[in-house]
Chain A
């Protein structure tokens, strides 16, 4: 069974209850339709298990199959530098079929980001390295495709795209 090799830490974007007993880590690609499918399921999961679950999103852009996956990840990380990671993450998944660089700039404007800063952060080496290091931690942990989930550091192989498969996995950890 594959295990999460890089523990949840400072570098991560975390939603839900800090110090929660159950952690769910997703390795995701912003252009991947399966990740788009999982997006509302995670929202629902965080609502249902709000007292015991924390959620982490890590970047796993499959750049050769998804030409906009990398730039979308860069946009979310650039938004994170202005404390708007999840807002950008959500906007991207909610408009997944309209992904291109212009729309990412438009999303940033919608979020009232400082556009000068956003544009200079977007292609910065720091952001690219952050995404590459997420990707590598995924590869090392046995991520073969997206989305891949880890529940309490164990790779979740029972996810079958249904809400129940995620909810059951959380319940099994209770």
Chain B
């Protein structure tokens, strides 16, 4: 089962480019949307990451950053991001393979890839909402925005 609401999100440090690493805890103070996905270049993942790319402006309005995570290598991510003009970090859960995905309960042992799972973390790095999408289905952005909207309401 994937990690559920109320759980502190396990910290990680993964390559975001061939020579840069990104540490989750460095984003404290911001909300973070983590999108685990099976593979760069595959049709559904491409649509899903492309959609989040187009939705960035709206996510930013909710003080939220998006991170994509798959087991693809940093070089593969770089080529994919360049080709699809992705403007948010794609992190390589590459070595040890799938370690972070496993910590979040979002690893598919049979395929050896991350599952398609979404997590929305609050400003303190606590999981506010999580969702495991059925394979081959793009979960879209509406559920993420619903969670962000709900967080705003609770804050008031």
In contact, B58 and A64 (Cβ under 8 angstroms): no
Q: Which residue on chain B has the smallest CB distance to residue A142? A: B142
A49 to chain B, nearest CB (A): 29
CA distance A38 to B86 in the complex (A): 27
Number of residues of chain A lying within 8 A (CB) of chain B: 15
B131 to chain A, nearest CB (A): 13
CA distance A145 to B48 in the complex (A): 9
B41 to chain A, nearest CB (A): 14
Interface centre among B51, B84, B86, B87 (most CB of A within 10 A): B51
In contact, A141 and B142 (Cβ under 8 angstroms): yes
In contact, B142 and A63 (Cβ under 8 angstroms): no
Query: Which of these, B55, B84, B87, B140, contacts A65 with CB under 8 Å?
Result: B84
CA distance A135 to B140 in the complex (A): 13
Known A-B contacts A65-B84, A136-B58; A145 and B51 likewise in contact (beta carbons under 8 Å): yes
Known A-B contacts A62-B54, A64-B84; A144 and B145 likewise in contact (beta carbons under 8 Å): no
A residues 128-143 touching B (CB-CB < 8 Å): 132, 135-136, 139-143
CA distance A62 to B84 in the complex (A): 11
Residues of B within 8 A of A135 (CB): 54
Within 8 Å of chain A (Cβ to Cβ): is B141? yes
Q: Mark B82-123, 1 if CB is under 8 A from A, else 0.
A: 001111000000000000000000000000000000000000
Residues of B within 8 A of A64 (CB): 50, 53-54, 84-87
B68 to chain A, nearest CB (A): 14
Within 8 Å of chain B (Cβ to Cβ): is A2? yes
Given contacts A62-B50, A139-B142, 14 further A-B pairs with CB under 8 A are: A62-B54, A64-B54, A64-B84, A64-B85, A64-B87, A65-B50, A65-B85, A135-B54, A136-B58, A139-B51, A139-B58, A139-B140, A142-B142, A144-B138
In contact, B138 and A63 (Cβ under 8 angstroms): no
Within 8 Å of chain A (Cβ to Cβ): is B13? no
A135 to chain B, nearest CB (A): 8
CA distance A141 to B57 in the complex (A): 17
In contact, A143 and B84 (Cβ under 8 angstroms): no
A2 to chain B, nearest CB (A): 7
B143 to chain A, nearest CB (A): 8
CA distance A141 to B141 in the complex (A): 9
Within 8 Å of chain A (Cβ to Cβ): is B47? yes
B residues 120-154 touching A (CB-CB < 8 Å): 138, 140-142, 145
Residues of A within 8 A of B54 (CB): 62-64, 135
Residues of B within 8 A of A145 (CB): 47, 51, 138
In contact, B53 and A144 (Cβ under 8 angstroms): no
